[in-house]
Amino acid sequence: MAPISIKELPRKKYVLPGNPSCPGCPETLGLRYIGMALGDRVILVVPAGCTAVIEGLAPGCSISLPVINVPFASADAVAAGIAAAKEVLGEDAVVVVWAGDGATADIGFATLSGAAERGDNIIHICVDNEAYMNTGIQRSSLTPYGAWTTTTWTGKKERKKELPLIMLMHKIPYVATASVGYPTDFIEKLRRAASIKGFKYIHLHAPCPTGWRFDPSQTVEIAKLAVETGMWILFEAINGKVRISPFSIPYKDRSKRKPVKEYIKLQGRFRALSDEELKKIESMIDDAWNTLLKFT
């Protein structure tokens, strides 16, 4: 695939100005990149979550794509149905599920796993802002260890569920992680996924100013720090073959990773993190890299 030229990215607005997202929202960023990557080919399946509200009030909608809102646990199944219909009718479409933590890892988990196991021809994007943001910042299984949420006031005691590895073990043709801090990487991965038949999974890291407690101007900065500290690993796996993405390659080397503290200190949700908890997070980063590198 040819490298992405920013100047040549489509300028058409798929996220419209005047939408009700929070300032600095990573979801609108992600949606803009879907528009840039795939444009009018997309049918977007949106379960309950921030984006359902970011669409704004009917009879208007802030997203300029075909959007079907669906019940929380149903997204991948509805998408599978739409994909089957399009195939039957001989109509071209890229069916994309745009699901948050809940609809991916919790209430929608069985549906996700079922669709992956069947190989339904859809792309599932998990827009991971690491809590149930739309309902008021409650913890999800994707909330990281030590993070404050409205249901984990002294910090989450459990670790973040490792969805990308779980999806890797479903042996689907395409698994990738991405970040709103690295749009060209995300766009390339979207286009690659759309060119493959079968079930594709992209896990998009989406720092949320409102829920993580940081200044809205820092969304991209924090997304980049996640990668630069090694907390978030950008990779893709085509038919199970894992390769670390270019922006994460420097951080294979432990000594090149920025100290985790630089990422943590900018976020109010980690304000009460103890030294012991910080050490645990540091060892989790090492573990994550060691595990993933075994697949390369």
Partner 1 sequence: MICVVIKPLTGNYAVAWAVKLGRVRVVSAYPITPQTTIVEKISEFVEKGEMDARIIRVESEHSALAAVYGAASGGVRAFTATSSHGLMYMSEMLWWVAGARVPLVMAIVTRTMGPPWNIWTDHSDFLSQRDTGWLMMFAEHNQEVLDSIIQLFKITEDPRVFLPGMVALDAFILSHTTEPVDIPGQSLVDSFLPERRQPYVFRAGEPITMGNIPSNLKEHMKMRWDIHKSLEAAKKVIAEVDQEWSKLTGRSYGGLIDCYRCSDAKYFIVGAGAWVGDMREATELLRSEGYEVGLIKMRYVRPFPSEELASVLRNAKGVVVFDRAVSPGSAGPMYLDVVTHLTEQNVRVPIKNVLAGLAGVDVTYEDIAGIVKSFINELESKGAISRYIEWYFG
Partner 2 sequence: MSEETHVLPLAKPKEGLSQTGTWRVRKPVIDHSKCVKCMMCWLHCPESTIDVIDTPEKFVEIDYEYCKGCGVCANVCPVKAISMVPEG
The listed partner (partner 2, partner 1, none) that binds 15, CB under 5 to 8 Å by sort, is partner 2
Stretch that binds partner 1, among 69-77, 163-171, 196-204, 283-291 (CB under 8 A): 69-77
Q: Where do we find the tokens 């200044």?
A: 215
Please identify, using beta-carbon distances, which residue of 55 and 76 lies nearer to partner 2. 55
Please pick, from the candidates 9, 113, 278, 282, the single residue that binds partner 1 as defined by CB under 8 A. 113
Partner whose footprint covers residue 6, from partner 1, partner 2, none (CB < 5 to 8 Å by kind) = partner 2
The reply to whether omega before 246 is within 30° of 0 (cis) is: no
**Based on CB atoms, which residue is closest to partner 1, 36 or 42?**
42
User: Residue 216, interface with partner 2 (CB under 8 A)?
Assistant: yes
If binding means CB under 8 A, how many residues of this protein chain bind partner 1?
A: 50
Count residues contacting partner 2 (CB under 8 A)?
A: 39
Among 29, 34, 37, 82, which residue interacts with partner 1 (rule: CB under 8 A)?
A: 82
Q: 37 or 244: whose CB is closer to partner 2?
A: 37
**Region near partner 1 per CB under 8 A, out of 42-50, 138-146, 153-161, 275-283:** 42-50
Single out the residue of 12, 13, 118, 279 in contact with partner 1 (rule: CB under 8 A). 118
Six-digit token string for 205: 């890291």
Length of the chain: 296
* Closest to partner 1 by CB, 104 or 245: 104
Find, among 56, 54, 60, 12, the residue nearest to 33 by Cα: 12
Contact at 8 Å (CB) between 284 and 161?
Answer: no
- Are the C-beta atoms of residues 198 and 170 closer than 8 Å to each other? no
Cα separation, 277 vs 153, in Å, equals: 15
Q: What is the Cβ-side half-sphere exposure of residue 89, based on CA atoms within 13 angstroms?
A: 9
- In whole angstroms, give the CA distance from residue 208 to residue 191: 25
With contact defined as beta carbons under 8 Å apart, do 142 and 101 qualify?
yes
Q: Which of 135, 150, 195, 217 binds partner 2 (CB under 8 A)?
A: 217
CA–CA distances in Å: residue 11 to residues 4, 7, 119? 14, 9, 33
Which of the ranges 114-122, 134-142, 143-151, 161-169 carries the binding residues for partner 1, by CB under 8 A? 114-122
